[in-house]
Structure 1
Amino acid sequence: MDLIVTDAGHIDRAVIEDYALDAAWGADENDFELTVDRMLEPGSYVYADGSELGGVIDSLRDRLERDGSTLTYGGRTWHGILANKILAPDTGQNYLVVSGKASTVIGMIVNRVGLAPLFQAVAPPPGIGDPDIKTYQVARYTDCYAGLRAMCAANGLKLRLAYRSGHVEIWAEPAAHYGDSIDSDLIDFDATRTWLRVNHLIGLGKGELANRTVVHWYADKDGNVSQNQSLHGTEEIAQTYDYSNAESDELDAKTRDKLIGMQSQGDVKVTVRDGTEIEMDVGDTVAAHDQITGITVQATVTKKITKTKNGSTSIDYEAS
């Protein structure tokens, strides 16, 4: 895979074939290291045309040894550039609330954080259609990349990026699910099954002492959340949720949502090793099955790791 490098003015200057690249994006990292035997300017772009692989050069490590210098450049992927921007509500508003066609919403957000015209919101590839974003409340002061991913996930979508013609195209499309289509020999998973979870959440809101707003929400053995308690004694696992500035209605809704989010049946980490012919995206789901225990796990791809050395490229995935 050839890489194209620009100058600091982002004009294409060279195609490089001999390099080592380690890049990751998703839940964390969102950066890259590029080792190449040439000088590159700070602020230059490196990218694989038509793909999401690429970013901006921010640093240089020069290591001098007997056989010469090794130049290793560090930088942010396109995803990391998004992650370095914060989504804040408008002045006087509690939250940023969005809805509409995905391309319109994403375009508004990209403009809001000052990343246009480098990032350009587009409709998905032909045949997919521009999906709708239902009314979505963006978390306060979240980073732009996390906020966009969360918004997409809430609508059954995934965020896609690709560098083309001097711009990073960005769009949303339906998340894909991969189960039996992936060889189980290529999947490792570490699963923890939890039978009893937090099932009583006490929300603590506005006020002091006896005047403090308090709400109670309960979950049953199946994870269904209501205000009716069904688990008592040793089966009751209670916690508090401190949301000190919330009025009664907001505290009630937030405490309920918090308890729903705590009803996972366990934790799972899935690693899909290089070798699958399917290329997945952050936001897709993958399933794995252990023949011995009978445990089947389904996880969402949270990180994509691509490495290139000596002309050979591998892609690994992490899911949870």
Structure 2
Amino acid sequence: IIQPPSGQDYRTVSGDANEILESVLGNAFGGLFTFPEESSEIDIPSYQFDRYTGALTGFTKMLATKNARLNIEVIQGGANEAFEIMLSAVPIQDLSEEIEYSQDSRVNISIKESRRGINHLICLGKGELKDRQVVHLYAQLDGSISQKQYYKGLQERTAVYDNNNAEDLNELIEGGTEKLQEDMNYKKMNLEIQDMDLQIGDIVGGRDYNSGLSLKKPVVQKIVKIESGTEEIEYKVEGEE
């Protein structure tokens, strides 16, 4: 867990991404994790971790601000030597422009589009009754979120987000934004990928010619199955059910 230093509200870091990984995680797991000596060439000018967040979640969110991902690689030692796990920061590969999966690729693909989702979220923070913090967040036509209303009248769909544990207004807005992103209009893609070596965080594209929908999503799971000596790798993309 990434904790704030004593007497401070948040853990804030800056510098080369590899050096940050090492400084935050350090020797927390008895030397199981190691870090490259060379620079990642991914500079983090300043980043503030969420309070008491898990290391994986914190690193993932930090690196995403630089279009990068956490690379996890097992390094096998010599005979009778233990392996080690090297953590490093690397750029995300956006393969959606080079490789697009569709019915033409002979893969199983389905894209689900949800319309008429929530577009107005009333966020309730600390305080009681009239003194309670209240922030209104609105979905925009392009999918972004702001505090200016776009959908009105019959198009407006409103819900409430209750978080009286938010430390301040910024934390309330951050949590409300994540909640609205989950509940607003969305597209989800299910696909089966074969004969590709992808890593978690890489981005792939999909197109369903039957509906005309297309989108690109990052890989969020890589599952290796070995049965009777045969290896099979299964990938899951963000939002896949």
The TM tier, using the shorter chain, reads 0.7 to 0.9
Residue 80 of structure 2 corresponds to which residue in structure 1? none
Contact 1:191 1:266 in 2 (8 A): no
Q: Does 1:230 align with 2:150?
A: yes
| C-alpha deviation, 1:237, in angstroms | 1.3
Residue 136 of structure 1 corresponds to which residue in structure 2? 47
**Unpaired runs of 5+ in structure 2?**
78-82
Q: Following the alignment from structure 2 to structure 1, what is the Cα–Cα distance between the partners of residues 161 and 37? A: 40
Residue 284 of structure 1 corresponds to which residue in structure 2? 202
- Give the secondary-structure state (helix, strand or coil) at the position aligned to 1:223: coil
**Unpaired runs of 5+ in structure 1?**
1-85
Q: Does 1:254 align with 2:184?
A: no
Contact 1:162 1:169 in 2 (8 A): yes
Q: Following the alignment from structure 1 to structure 2, what is the Cα–Cα distance between the partners of residues 182 and 147? A: 30
| C-alpha deviation, 1:266, in angstroms | 1.4
Residue 168 of structure 1 corresponds to which residue in structure 2? 85
> Superposition pairs for residues 201-220 of structure 1, below 5 Å?
201-220=121-140
| Match for residue 19 of structure 2 among 63, 87, 104 | 104
| Match for residue 118 of structure 1 among 32, 35, 38 | 32
| C-alpha deviation, 1:245, in angstroms | 4.4
- Give the secondary-structure state (helix, strand or coil) at the position aligned to 1:150: helix
RMSD: 2.8
Q: Following the alignment from structure 1 to structure 2, what is the Cα–Cα distance between the partners of residues 255 and 282? A: 24
Contact 1:110 1:116 in 2 (8 A): no
Aligned pairs, number: 229
Per-residue CA distance 1:166-188 (angstroms, 9 max, x = gap): 42111010011223436643643
Structure 2 length-normalised TM: 0.80
Larger Rg: 1
Q: Following the alignment from structure 1 to structure 2, what is the Cα–Cα distance between the partners of residues 310 and 233? A: 60
Write 1 or 2 for the structure with the bigger share of strand. Answer: 1
Contact 2:121 2:180 in 1 (8 A): no
- Give the secondary-structure state (helix, strand or coil) at the position aligned to 1:109: helix
Structure 1 length-normalised TM: 0.62
> Superposition pairs for residues 296-315 of structure 1, below 5 Å?
296-315=214-233
